Amino acid sequence: MLRQHSAEIGTEGRLGCGPLIPPLSDTLRPLRQQVFERVRSAGLISRVQVSKDLGVSPASVTTLTSELIEAGLIEEVAAPREAEQGRGRPAVLLGVRAQAHRVAGMKLSDREHTAVIVDFAGNLIADDVVPRRPGPMSTSELLDAVETLLNRVCAKAGIARSDLSAVGIGLPGFVDTTSGKVMWSSVLTDRAVPLAAAAQARVGLPVAIDNDANLVTLAELWFGAGRRLADFAVVTIEHGVGMGYVINHRIYRGAQGLGMELGHTKVQLDGALCRCGQRGCLEAYIADYALAREATTALNWTHREGQSISVLLESLYDHAKAGNTAARSIFRRAGRYLAVGLSNVINLFDPALIILSGERMRYDYLYAQETLAEMENLAIQTGRPRPPIEIHAWGDLLWAHGAAALALSFVSEGLLSPARSDIAAQ
């Protein structure tokens, strides 16, 4: 089952953000953190409903919400009156105090850098996009780009950099979010870079980093189609191929924080060369540089080698739509490899939903009916329906929203951590 999907991230209003975890399903976190997250995800909610959802006494909810209000993290909001309810005191609802904190989220990629600033309730304040020259950068150059982009988006928001509480950064490659270290990335010439610490020292703000596929998954979990799902997969097809997976409403990263590298699973022994230096990776057959490489050879486009990959892909797609057999066969071959990858995701994880995300998903030949039929044949025949597949052809601003969600989570967990005995002191 294939579903097309489009939406705008960052709409204003009390829509809530963050995963919508069912009542009584997550009791490991501190109760005041659960109360705060229930308010945040609902947008606006009454104390009575919080009590029902969490299965705790109204008195406990009253005490905890009073602490959160005193700390400036949530606020009381008068509920809109219905036409027939003109008498008596208006109902009071709880909502996140949007102005309590602001955070920035950044996506650093091979083609451009994007950034957003959101308030504590997840509302978009400003965004910016900066094109960049292709090719990896040194750590110093990358830090320069981070600082420049942060200054630009802060200027757009009309705030000082010091007004931010944290910055989230996403980039492709092998990223250990716990240690803040980038083991390898296509945008960096250096390896094993302690990027979180280096960026924090450069911009003077707390910095959290993660793999960009995890961050687009966070964006879906906080703002998109995954808010109500306990388990789902996001497969990203852009400059590379990535995957994020949510288990029980939480991103799964693996024992060392480097898991879910679907793009670097092997689909061909001694096959095509991947950017990671190994051969036969899935990415080496369906990522944009792989399609451009195939086009240069199959269509004898050696005279176009100086052109950008984006221009080559647009030309390849135009040729495919016009009926060019070689161009269509390139997309067909990539689609077959994509079917292999998706069938493996189904066989391993049995997700409730698979989201194919990234600007490259506008190339519909990648997920044509032949590709989906091949995926059906490759997945285990259980007699049960396959998970639905949704196509989200969003650009890098979605990924930057995921980085902002990472920063929001970093800030709120720090404020509500059991190690902090007095949240009002934060």
Dist CA 330 CA 71 (whole Å): 57
Indicate the Cα dihedral angle 234, 110, 4, 390, nearest 10°: -10
**Are 150 and 127 in contact, with CB atoms under 8 Å apart?**
no
Residue 420 pLDDT class (50, 70, 90 cuts)? very low
DSSP β-ladder status, 232-237 and 354-357? parallel
**Per-residue pLDDT at 5 exceeds 80:** no
Q: Report which residue type is found at 400.
A: A
Strands (E) located in 228-343: 232-237, 241-247, 250-252
CB 423 within 8 A of CB 101: no
- Give residue-wise pLDDT tens across range 101-132: 999 999 998 888 999 999 999 999 999 999 88
Q: Which tokens go with 410?
A: 């970093």
164 by DSSP, 3-state: which?
coil
Domains 2-99 and 234-395 share a fold: no
pLDDT tens per residue, range 330-377 = 988 998 999 999 999 999 999 999 998 876 666 776 667 788 888 888
CA atoms within 13 A of residue 173's CA, in its CB half-sphere: 30
What's the CATH number for 2-99? 1.10.10.10
Query: Where along the chain do its domains lie?
Result: 2-99, 100-217+397-425, 234-395
Range 389-404 average pLDDT = 84
Task: Classify 234-395 by CATH class.
Answer: alpha beta
**pTM, full prediction:** 0.84
Of 9, 398, 414, the residue nearest 208 (C-alpha): 414
Q: How far apart are CA 329 and CA 28, in angstroms?
A: 51
pLDDT value for 340 = 94
The CATH homologous superfamily to which domain 100-217+397-425 belongs is ATPase, nucleotide binding domain (3.30.420.40)
Closest Cα partner for 126 from 143, 107, 144, 105? 105
